Amino acid sequence: MTMSGATSALSNPLTRNVRADRSPTDFSAYEANGGYQALRSTIGKVAPADCLQILKDSNLRGRGGAGFPTGMKWSFVPMGDAVTPGHKYLICNADEMEPGTFKDRLLMECDPHQLIEGMILSAYTLQADVSYIFIRAEYYKAAALLREAIATCHAKGYLGENILGSDFSLKMHVHVSAGRYICGEETALINALEGKRANPRAKPPFPQVSGLWGRPTIVNNVETLCNVHHIIERGADWFQALGKGEDAGTKMYGVSGRVKNPGCWELPIGTSVREIIEEHAGGMEDGYKLRGFLPGGGSTDFLVEEHLDLPMDYGSIGKAGSRMGTGTMIILDDRTCPVGFVRNLTQFFAQESCGFCTPCRDGLPWTAQVLGSIAEGTGRPEDMDTLAHQIGYIGAMGNTHCALAPGAMEPLQSAIKYFRDDFEAHIHDRECRFDARGCR
């Protein structure tokens, strides 16, 4: 994984402390570069309501995939007299199991204190007194660094009781995930944190009102929370000026696949797809051509060459028929079979279903089986009708308990839209036109 060469704290706030060798930034280095300055100048000195207004004005949108306005989401948490005595919770979703996504890992491993400071100020804004970092089990290095950072902050008086002599107190814990993709859905994450099976909950009530152990709870991902203290310190106008269009701030963009320089870069939100792939990722490897790409991880729709000049922002990618999602692209090259590509993703999502609802529990394995028959040369023409039925039913929001199954249908429905000839050739020729190993 690599990062942008620019290190300006104003233009690249999230990666300003990321070193070329990816060694972690410790407490001393973080403070020497301005770290915890926002915390010291805010806790007990700026009203939480004023912090929330800054977040609203900044137009920070969630960086975990949905892109919901952060300030608006936080405003749904009951404050003051509306809250009965008891805890309020802030949870950082660091599960990051979306295929092709690795941006949060980079932030946590290289600059753990940035996340801690962002969470402390987020909790202060929400007046939450307990916070959790819910992290996937494979991120053992990041978990160790975060635990060390939390211990250091306790020793410095940035965590614990009466932080910096104020009335604000906060406990912070690292909780290692049980290791399933569904744990990334916020209500399934909350169930897992409570020690229950990670099934998504019915909404309403929403977690902002009744979440962890029935208390008001906010769940945001790593990149989102890392932005918070920068915004509170420098203001909404500064953050809005970082973006290239309607969306504000920078974005951690990533590219994986047959490119010369796969990696992750912090760039102004709205940077074009072409710039990300051709300049930062170095373009396609020699001998390979671009056929398509998933713009935001494995559960987004394919886009193709005609979309290269689109800005990578929520509105533009949405209008093109996909989602920006996590902003981490997966490249489909001209030597990789789309059938095998999509079959692999569908098998993953089928395996990761929580099994709560029938369309997801039974429909995804059925879809994976049909794709397997096509990929292995035993498919039938009517299989295309079966896939169309599955896409129409499983892929419709509201037919399943959560968005896992509809998301799983996005790469399939768009692959059939753009690469239907490859599916039909598999059925007609009984073999793959590409390397058959990719379809097995």
440 residues of the chain, pLDDT tens digit each: 434 433 344 789 999 999 989 999 999 999 999 999 999 999 999 999 999 999 999 999 989 877 889 999 999 999 876 667 789 999 999 999 999 999 999 999 999 999 999 999 999 999 999 999 999 999 999 999 999 999 999 999 999 999 999 999 999 999 998 878 999 899 999 999 999 999 999 889 999 999 999 999 999 999 999 999 999 999 999 999 999 988 999 999 999 999 999 999 999 999 999 999 999 999 999 999 999 999 999 999 999 999 999 999 999 999 999 999 999 999 999 999 999 999 999 999 999 998 899 999 999 999 999 999 999 989 999 999 999 999 999 988 888 889 899 999 999 999 999 999 999 999 998 888 786 555 65
Last residue of a domain, one of 184, 210, 240: 240
User: What is the length of the chain?
Assistant: 440
Last residue of a domain, one of 311, 333, 355: 333
DSSP β-ladder status, 290-294 and 328-333: antiparallel
Terminal CA-to-CA distance of the chain, rounded, Å? 28
Q: Which two tokens stand for residue 228?
A: 């918070």
Closest by alpha carbon to 295, among 269, 323, 271, 272? 323
Cα–Cα dist 331/166, whole Å: 50
> Are 268 and 242 in contact, with CB atoms under 8 Å apart?
yes
Q: What are phi and psi of 92, to 5 degrees?
A: -95, 120
Q: Please check whether residues 319 and 346 belong to one and the same domain.
A: no
Helix (H, G, I), strand (E, B) or coil at 219: strand
Q: Is residue 14 part of a domain?
A: no
Q: Which two tokens stand for residue 387?
A: 């896939």
Q: Please check whether residues 130 and 228 belong to one and the same domain.
A: yes
Residue 399: DSSP 8-state? S
- pLDDT tens for 235-280 read 999 999 999 988 999 999 999 999 999 999 999 999 999 999 999 9
CATH number reported for the structural domain that contains residue 191 in this entry? 3.40.50.11540
- Alpha carbons within 13 angstroms on the beta-carbon side of residue 309 total 1
Q: Please check whether residues 203 and 189 belong to one and the same domain.
A: yes
Q: Please check whether residues 328 and 345 belong to one and the same domain.
A: no
Q: Please check whether residues 227 and 147 belong to one and the same domain.
A: yes
Question: Residue 363 is inside which H or E element, if any?
Answer: helix 363-375
Q: Please check whether residues 343 and 324 belong to one and the same domain.
A: no
- Alpha carbons within 13 angstroms on the beta-carbon side of residue 150 total 19
Cα–Cα dist 129/126, whole Å: 9
CA 359 to chain centre: 24
Q: Is residue 2 part of a domain?
A: no
Helix (H, G, I), strand (E, B) or coil at 178: coil
The range of the structural domain enclosing residue 190 comes to 27-240
pTM flag (> 0.75): yes
Q: Is residue 3 part of a domain?
A: no
Q: Is residue 9 part of a domain?
A: no
User: How are strands ordered across the β-sheet holding 89-94?
Assistant: 171-176, 130-135, 89-94, 217-221
Residue 121: DSSP 8-state? H
CA 59 to chain centre: 18
> Are 413 and 395 in contact, with CB atoms under 8 Å apart?
yes
Question: Residue 89 is inside which H or E element, if any?
Answer: strand 89-94
Q: Please check whether residues 193 and 132 belong to one and the same domain.
A: yes
Cα–Cα dist 29/217, whole Å: 32
CATH number reported for the structural domain that contains residue 260 in this entry? 3.10.20.600
Q: Please check whether residues 167 and 41 belong to one and the same domain.
A: yes
CATH number reported for the structural domain that contains residue 350 in this entry? 1.20.1440.230
Q: Please check whether residues 182 and 38 belong to one and the same domain.
A: yes
Residue 305: DSSP 8-state? G
Q: Please check whether residues 36 and 183 belong to one and the same domain.
A: yes
Last residue of a domain, one of 333, 367, 382: 333
Q: Please check whether residues 266 and 396 belong to one and the same domain.
A: no
- Cis-peptide, bond into residue 205, ω within 30° of zero: yes
Cα–Cα dist 367/237, whole Å: 47
Angle at which helices 363-375 and 338-352 cross, to 10°: 150
Q: Is residue 18 part of a domain?
A: no
Q: Please check whether residues 267 and 342 belong to one and the same domain.
A: no
Where do we find the tokens 């700026």? Answer: 46
